[in-house]
Amino acid sequence: MNTDITMAAAITALVEQQRAVGYKYAAQARVLARFAAFCCTEFPGLHAPTQAAVEAWITAAQQRGVTPSTLRTLVAPVRQLARWLGRRGVNAYVLPAGVLPRPARYIPHIFTDAELAALFTQTDRCHYNSQVPLRHLAMPVLFRTIYACGLRASEARLLRVDDVDLDTGVLRIRNAKGGKDRQVPVSAPLHARLVGYHAQVAGSGGDWFFPGTAGKPLTLGNIDKNFRRFLWQARISHGGRGHGPRVHDLRHTFVVNNLRSWFAHGHDVNALLPVLQTYLGHSSLADTAYYLRLTAESYPHITARIQHALGDVVPPAAAGPGHGH
């Protein structure tokens, strides 16, 4: 067994390798740091993941009551580390596939027009909060931007002032999933809101278009907390932990509503689907197709019309996990 490399050095090298090819690898790096600290305490002197260490790591997570989905995020980087070490002659344990419980497949909540109207009405009623003094100004615009542009919540919250071209009405999404930038034109009504909002907060939020506290952007936790409150105020029921609606479901609703509109107006969906792909920030049409599949159970007529127009581009419901997020 090659013990020339320590676990800490292996983690550093793996993280650097992943980032060098364009991955952010931030959450994974944090998981690996936690795994290394866990091993240092429970298995001192360990140079590589062993079966005992990996199984103890899984058991500790399960005892904390993590969801199957979270458990997978805690194990995947450790498995990747073991494979990285194995390719370098180190005897490391790779957890076999199929061992972990499968997470329940989430069916996105597609907001009705009435639900969207009620939700945005409540964002407009957001009150001033001294701890987050710009919250009442930011929330109505933030959630409209997520929905109207099909953004991920992280993409919206990390917009910098320089990323929002108020003259042309174009957003620059930096270093999104997959490490790519993209430009997203906004509608005329949203453009007007962005201009009005910026006029109110200009100079108050530092570099961030949607500022939080201490010169930092809004956190995902803050966004989720406010979203849950707006749902409750709009009388839109929430299914609890692991269920929806989620902020990300606004992105799904963006997809469905655009498809509905295109079909209703007789537009060429074959030509417009790549536009949707660009808005969503997907690197391939396959990612967008998988994304559409997630809404198929609620809107089968849309899936049928897409397949009629484009061929069989939407994977069947039994398809494995994709990356269309």
Catalytic residues: 152, 177, 248, 251, 282, 291
Distance CA 51, CA 283 (A): 36
Neighbours of 77 (CB within 10 A): 23
Region of residue 315 (phi > 0: left; psi between -120 and 50: alpha; otherwise: beta): beta
Helices of type H across 44-187 = 51-63, 68-86, 113-124, 135-149, 153-157
**φ, ψ for residue 249 (rounded to 5)?**
-70, -20
Neighbours of 82 (CB within 10 A): 21
Distance CA 37, CA 31 (A): 10
Distance CA 21, CA 138 (A): 35
Distance CA 126, CA 121 (A): 9
Distance CA 264, CA 91 (A): 59
Residues 120, 231 contacting (CB under 8 angstroms): no
